[in-house]
Amino acid sequence: MLQNGVLGLIGILLLTACGPDQSAEEPLRLPARESTWVKTEQVEITKHDALSPKSGAAIHIPINEDLQEQLMQTSGRAPKSPVENMASCFALLEPLDKTRMFVQREGGAWAMFERSDLIKPYSNNGMQIDSNLNKLVFSLRHLCRTAQGVPQNPLALKVNSLVDQMGKEKAREHFIEVVGEAPADVDHWLEYAEFARQNTKRKVPYAEIQALILKTQPLIDLYKDLLDRKVAESNKDAFLSDSVTLLTVIKDRLATEPRVVMAMKEDTETPLPSRWEM
Segment 134-164, tens digit of pLDDT: 999 999 999 999 999 999 988 889 999 999 9
Phi/psi of residue 15, each to 5°? -65, -40
Same domain? 190 vs 208: no
How many other β-carbons are positioned within 10 Å of the β-carbon of residue 172? 20
End-to-end CA distance of the chain: 87
Rounded percentage of the chain residues whose pLDDT exceeds 70? 75
The domain containing residue 168 runs over which residues?
A: 151-200
pTM, two decimal places = 0.73
* Segment 172-211, tens digit of pLDDT: 999 899 888 889 989 988 998 999 999 999 999 999 999 9
Report the number of distinct structural domains present in the chain: 2
How many other β-carbons are positioned within 10 Å of the β-carbon of residue 262? 17
Same domain? 184 vs 255: no
CB of 254 closer than 8 Å to CB of 135? yes
Residue 162 lies in a domain: yes
Same domain? 141 vs 243: yes
Query: Last residue of a domain, which of 164, 184, 200?
Result: 200
Confidence of residue 216 (pLDDT cuts 50, 70, 90): very high
Same domain? 135 vs 207: yes
Confidence of residue 275 (pLDDT cuts 50, 70, 90): low
Residue 50 lies in a domain: no
Same domain? 100 vs 196: no
How many other β-carbons are positioned within 10 Å of the β-carbon of residue 171? 21
Residue 20 lies in a domain: no
Among positive and negative, which fits the CA dihedral 40, 42, 44, 45? positive
